Structure formats: C-alpha cells, structure tokens
Amino acid sequence: MATTRKRSVTKKRKKKANQRSVYHFGPGFTQGGAGMKELLGGKGANLAEMCRIGLPVPAGFTIATTVCERFNKNGGKLPPDVVQEVRKAVRRLEKDSGKGFGDPRRPLLISVRSGAALSMPGMMDTVLNLGLNADAMEGVARLTGNRRFALDARRRFIQMFANVVEGLDHTAFEQVLERAKAKAGVDADIDLPEAELEGVVADYLKLFKKLSRRPFPEDPEEQLLRSITAVFGSWMGKRAVEYRRIHKIEGLLGTAVNVQTMVFGNLGPTSGTGVCFTRDPATGEDIFYGEFLMNAQGEDVVAGIRTPQDLSGLVDVQPKAYRQLERVRRLLEKHYRDMQDIEFTIEEGTLYILQTRTGKRTARAAVRIAVEMAQKRLITRDEAVARVQAGELDRLLHPQFDPKAERHVIARGLPASPGAVSGKVVFSADEAKVQAASGEQVILVRNETSPEDVGGMHAAEGILTATGGMTSHAAVVARGMGKCCVAGAGEVRIDEDDGFFRVADTVVWAGDVISLDGTSGEVMVGAVATMPADPGTEFSTLLSWADKACRKDGLKVRANADTPADAAVARGFGAKGIGLCRTEHMFFGEKRITPMREMILAEDERSRRKALRKLLPFQRRDFAGILKAMDGLPVTIRLLDPPLHEFLPHDEDGVASVAAALDVSEDEVRERARRLQEMNPMLGHRGCRLGITYPEIYEMQVRAIYEAAAQNKKKGLRPKPEVMIPLVGSVTEYTFLRDRLKAVAREVLKKKEVTLPVVFGTMIEIPRAALRADEIGAEAQFFSFGTNDLTQMTFGFSRDDIGSFLPEYVDHKVLPADPFATMDQSGVGELVKIATERGRTAKPKLKVGICGEHGGDPASIGFCHGVGLDYVSCSPFRVPIARLAAAHAVVDAVERDV
C-alpha cells in the first residue's frame, strides 16, 4: 500500500467478549502471525511468524495492544484479568523450559520489550534479565560456572530497572561503574574483574535505595508486573509522542508488550550479539550488512556503549553461526518481500533470532531496493512504486559536497546516514530545537544520542556522535528521518559542560560551524561548498513506472516556473507543462522595474501605455524562452496579480532613487505610494480588479504572450500558451476581461499570420468563485485552483501572520496540520470539489488543475486525484515527488476497488 498519506492502522474496535489478551509464541506452539500486527504489534507478530516458519526464536508471549488501550483508560494500571493471564503465561514458559521464574536452582530469566504496529525504534522502553534476584543470580553462577557473567547480568538488570521502571537517572549508576573501572585500571566493561563487579552490584543496590527511598524489589513477579506497566506507560512518554508526531503516526491502539525467554550474548568468548540488515540500509546494495559484538548484550550494540565490529568479521569468530545467519537473511527477505532489520544473539555458539522488522532506510536505498526487487520479480512494479514514500524523493534532490571544494577534515567516523550538511555546533537536543526555531542551521554533537534526543535530532541539519556504530540509535533514527549522520567518531572528545569538543589540537566551540559528510564519515571545520545531487539510475526507472501507472486515469504533473531556466529544470524532472507562470516576478529585473514604476506613477492611460510599451519586449522575451523550454507542452501564464504598491519603494533611499530615475519629485513618489496603500492589500486592488481598472496592463501582457508564441511557431516550435485571469469572483469579471483580451490575441495572430488556439481560463481562489463555478465554467476553458489564497479566504487566516498561533493550533489538535502545507479537505477541499463538479456540469470536458503549494504535497495530491482533477502543479524540485504521489493515488484507488 502506498505510504504517501498519513500513516495509520485500520481501526477495528469491536472486541469479542472472549478475545484473549496474551498470545504465546515458541517452538511447536504459536498463536499469532504476521497478519496480526495491529493486535500484537510489529515485533510480536513477527516473532510469531518466525516461529511458524521454523526459525530459532526464544519462546515467550505477547500482551496485546488492546491492553495498552485499556491500561491508559484505567489510569495507568494493569487490568486484573490481564495480570491473571500473565501469571498463566509465565507458568507455561516455566513448564516448557523446565525452569522456574525466580527459582535459584534453574532460574528462568525473561525480557520485557515494547512493540507497536508501526516500528518506533528506541522510542519505548525495554527491561532485560527479569527474575534475576540475589538467589537466582547465585543459581545462574552455579549453572554456568561463570560468576562474573551472573554478576554482570545482575548489575545490568538493576541499572535498567532503576532507569526504566523507577525513573532514576542512569548517569548516577554509570558513574559508579566508571569509578570501579578506573580503580581497576580497565577501560571496557567486559574487562572489569569479578571482585570489582561484585562491589558494583552492591553499590548499585545502595544507590537504588538512596534514590528511590525503598529497597530494590527481589520478588520476580513484582519485577515483571512493574516492568510491563513501565513499557505500557512509555507509549505516552514524551519521546514516543514526539516520534509519532514527527512521523505522522496515528490511529494505533498502543504498544504491545513482548515477554520473552532470555538468551545471553555475554556468556563468554563464544557468545555475542548483533544487528543486521538484509541489504545496505544507506545505499540499498544487495549485501549482508550489520555489526556485532562478542561477549555482549544487545543494548551494547544499539546504545553505542562499545563500538562494534563489521558483520563480515563474524565469519572468522563464529563461522557456523554466520552461515546460519546468511540463510536466515535470505529466508526472511524472501518471506517478507522487503529488506529486513534483524536482531540476533549467539549463546555459546547457538544462534537465536530475537526480532525482524522492515528495515529503516535512506531515500536512495528505498528507491534502489524497490526497483531491484521488482526487477527480480519479488514484488510488482506497482508495489515498487507504492513502497517509496513520495516525500522521501526530496532528499535525493538536494546538493552534495563539491568534491573540488576545500575540506579541512579533523575527524572521521562511520557514514551512518548520507547527506552533506553544514551548521553551528550545539551539544543538547533542547538547544538544537531553540536555535533551529530561530532560523539557525545546527548540527547536534553528542557522545551518543538517546531516545530523549529525537526532537533535537529532527530539528538539526545533521548529527555527530563520538561513539556508536551503524546500527546505533543515532544511525537508525537519522536514516529514518533522512538526516545526515556521522557516528562513532572516536577522535572527538566532547566537553558538554564547557561547551566544546576537541580533536587532537583542534578545539571546536558551541556556535562554531562544522560540516558533516554522511557518505564518507568525514567531519570538517567550517562550511563546505556543495553541488547538485545524483539520485541514481533507479530514480528514473521508478518514476517511469510511476508515470505508467498514471497514464490512463492519473493526474498529470506540471510545474510552477517563472523563468526559462526554471522551466528547463522542471522539464528535466518530468513536468508535463507549466501550471503557473507568475508574471509579476518578471518586472523586478534591473532594466524592467523603472518602466514598471513609470507606469504606476503615470496619471493617465496614454502615459501608462507609453511605459508599458517599454516593458513589452522584456515580457515577449521571457514568454518566448519559457514557451521554448516547454515546447509542445501547455504553459499557463497568470496575468499580473499583486497590488501595484508592491512595486514601489517605501524607504527614503528607494524613493530618492525612483524620483531621480523618472525625473519626478520625491513627494510625487511618496504621494503615489500613499494613495496605493491599502488596509488589507490581499483583499484589495489586485488580480482581475487591476485588469478591469487598467486594461492596458493585461492587454500588453497578452500581446507579449501571443507575439512570443507566434515567433516560436514561425521557428518550427509548438507553443501552447494558456492565459489565466486571476482573482475572479464573478462570471462578469471574467467575461469582461476575456472578451477584450481574446480580441488582442486574435489581432496579434492575424497580424503575424499564425494560427494558434487562443485559450483562456481563470484561477479559482475566492470562495464565491467556487460556489458560482457553473456560471464561470460555462465561459472558461480551464480552472486552476489557487489554493494558497483559497485557504486564506476560506479560513480567514493571513498566511503572513498565521505563524504566531499555528503551532499551538497543531500541537493542541485544533487543526490536524498547517492548512497552507496540506489541504484542509473538509473545508477548502470541499470548495475544490464543489467547483469541479459545478464547472463540469456546465462544461463536461472542462480542464481543472491546482497550482497552489498543495500541488506538491503528497496527501493533497491524493485528494486531488479523488476529486477528479486533471493535473497538479508544484515547484520544479517537487515534480518527482508529485509524480510519485500521483501514482500512489492510482495504485491506492485500484487496491480499494479490488
């Protein structure tokens, strides 16, 4: 299914009276499957599915997302019936494993993890090693013959429980560990001797009691129920809520909770853990990609505590497990028909798969993976088109660093997420948000990021971390956001308190500018010049498939372009014409603004026409160039729209300059500006109102358009101009101008002895025009919705001033989104629908398009397709996005009909 629209999961709220809350998974007995993600969450559904296809998955059970919904409605308390089901499920795990939860002889240890229907990596909580009380720890030590391992597992559990369940600051516990390592003279956690580790556990227990004012809970059931409560509670935690807001995730019941038998990667040199992807998530290349650590637990890899090894090195230390993992890779990608992100643990040489999910990927990787999978017939071409979110293409079209530019490289890290950015250094997520809100481009620099940093990561241009690997939190989240990220730059030494970082002898302070190359992993001092991006050959292939999907019933995509250069760029991106050429932008050139101002200052028609004759050659040249760039394709040219005061200066230096250039007094310039000034210029003397008051302005423009078209036609070209009259509110405004202007066009064509269609239409941007569209449609040859003004006039919002209150409207859900960015379908959209239906009642083949900012917004494009518009028009660099979104609309409509 296409993913351009806001992501949500179908709501099926009617709960059967006998529907269970707990679902088991494991060898020989599994109650779920991949099709149950709404109920079991992505992680729980996939664990069950992997059990069904015979993969080595540690047994466990999933508490359904419906319980999270009940939990939140119940004031953050587990329902009693769920507690009973959990107890029964634990007893089943005990029976199947032959171990006891809290039993000191054969202790059963479990993990508690979140898992929503849509992946939210790192946004909710996890607790490992549950059941490891003091007695169970001794049992683990006896069974494994490895007391150091048991102590390490115990100290990890205490620290994680303290942070996740009790809400205590993890740094206090880290400081205890760091002191112990310093005392023992070791750098890594795994090198800490057993005696010192025993002291760390004792100190952790004291610290827990001091900070929480109660002893650490040793009852396994209390540990479990409180951990489940904490994970359910994390669904409404700040970082999870912000992640869902950023990624527009709506409609979910909540998270599921997965309770699973622990397997250990930190049992010794034959144990390990890792994260892998079935393809390179940065480039999309079909290679096995990932990282691992021996003698470690899973959080060591993703939290950036230790810098992991490349997955290819696993073949040397655990060749059997590596070969098994290769088979799992191929099986899962073929089974799910998409790139998978897999977590695994090796316990004393035995491989276990702990999770699989659809892997986060960069925009370029998304395109390449979709195209290559379709070429290998793993998915269809329509599925490939639907797999790539239209908004992601924007990331492929932005500049990269110029290879010829000077680079002062001070450090290198891992190329965690591609891109090329420059910005001011900040050391906290909060500072990143503050500075970004004030318009600064910033780079967030951290030792490692945590889920609490997600807001700052979203605000920053890029992220630099001193530790962590390609699957660390920073790397995964940055790739999902399309942010440039360099991770694991070990040379970087950060001093957050004093606000600087050091690399050897180089000191970089907060506020200094650095650059990050997310493709090479380079960190540079200062800003680096950029060059246009190369989206790759698969980009064109995917868009050709998108165009094919749209060929019969889909929207055409035009561009908003005001210059020949912009028109050429738009055509290069696949635009099928120009939907909006704003002529007012043409009058601000150095040689044009003076005659424009001369026309404005003129006191009579004769003087205005004299000034307009000076502008005619410039306009003709502009139109000839744009029509040539779009040869054979329609070019909709909007006649002058803004009020005339916008072309006059309002500062004293500007007034003096105009007076000198036109040989008039400064008082005359000031007086004319004063007379043109309006209380509300957006509702004032502009658009067709100017044309009716000063018809000579529009006559000059139409003359220039058709002289340019005639000139091109005589050169063997195929010009297709369309003249658009703006701000029409009544049919009489339109016909008054159309009749006069068509006469001018025909006069020009007759004089030039050229035959061309004379096409006139109007911009629908006033609510009254939408309501009277049947009358206007009977006279016009096309409609183009100017949804910027239509939104402004429908809501009564000033788009220039809405920024002062819009954030609160969106935050408090007064509005679901900025209505100037995504169309308000129930209000503005209803007017679009009404106007289209009424216009085509009068003229069934009336051509209808949209040229406001919504023409490049994927969600709005889907609406335009549903209403039956013929085309959308957007800025040149958003044309590929609109092409893909238009295809998504067609594919979605076909899916709904099936």
Lookup: tokens for 419: 């891109």
CA distances from residue 301 to 43, 279, 444, 453, 473 in whole angstroms, order as listed? 19, 19, 21, 18, 9
Choice among 24, 247, 458, 473 that is catalytic: 473
Choice among 484, 581, 851, 874 that is catalytic: 851
Catalytic-residue membership of 851: yes
Number of helices (H), then strands (E), belonging to the chain: the values are 33, 33
For residue 871, count other CB atoms closer than 10 A to its CB. Answer: 26
Lookup: tokens for 193: 């001797």
| Closest residue by Cα to residue 848 from 770, 793, 788 | 770
CA dist., res. 374 & res. 383, Å (int): 8
Catalytic-residue membership of 398: no
CA dist., res. 683 & res. 767, Å (int): 13
Which distant-in-sequence residues (6+ apart) come within 8 Å of 698 by Cβ?
Answer: 639, 640, 690, 691, 725, 737, 740, 741
Lookup: tokens for 42: 């992505």
| Closest residue by Cα to residue 344 from 388, 399, 394, 290 | 290
CA dist., res. 820 & res. 823, Å (int): 7
CA dist., res. 358 & res. 337, Å (int): 9
Task: Provide the CB-side half-sphere exposure for 459 (13 A, CA).
Answer: 25
Q: Is 796 exposed, middle or buried (0-12, 13-18, 19+ CB in 10 A)?
A: exposed
Asked if 387 contacts 366 with a C-beta cutoff of 8 angstroms, the reply is yes
CA dist., res. 173 & res. 196, Å (int): 15
For residue 813, count other CB atoms closer than 10 A to its CB. Answer: 7
**Sheet strands (E) in 368-499:** 400-401, 409-412, 414-417, 420-426, 442-446, 462-465, 484-487, 493-495
| Closest residue by Cα to residue 822 from 792, 859, 850, 874 | 859
Helices (H), 318-425: 319-336, 363-375, 381-387
Q: What is the DSSP letter of 85?
A: H
| Closest residue by Cα to residue 262 from 383, 401, 144 | 144
Q: What is the DSSP letter of 474?
A: H
Q: Could you please report the per-residue DSSP string of 758-816?
A: --EEEEE-SHHHHHTHHHHHHH-SEEEE-HHHHHHHHHT--TTTGGGTHHHHHHTTSSS
CA dist., res. 294 & res. 313, Å (int): 11
* Terminal-to-terminal C-alpha distance of the chain: 13
Task: Provide the CB-side half-sphere exposure for 640 (13 A, CA).
Answer: 28
**Sheet strands (E) in 251-337:** 256-261, 272-277, 289-294, 309-310
Lookup: tokens for 163: 């942070």
Active centre residues (catalytic): 473, 851
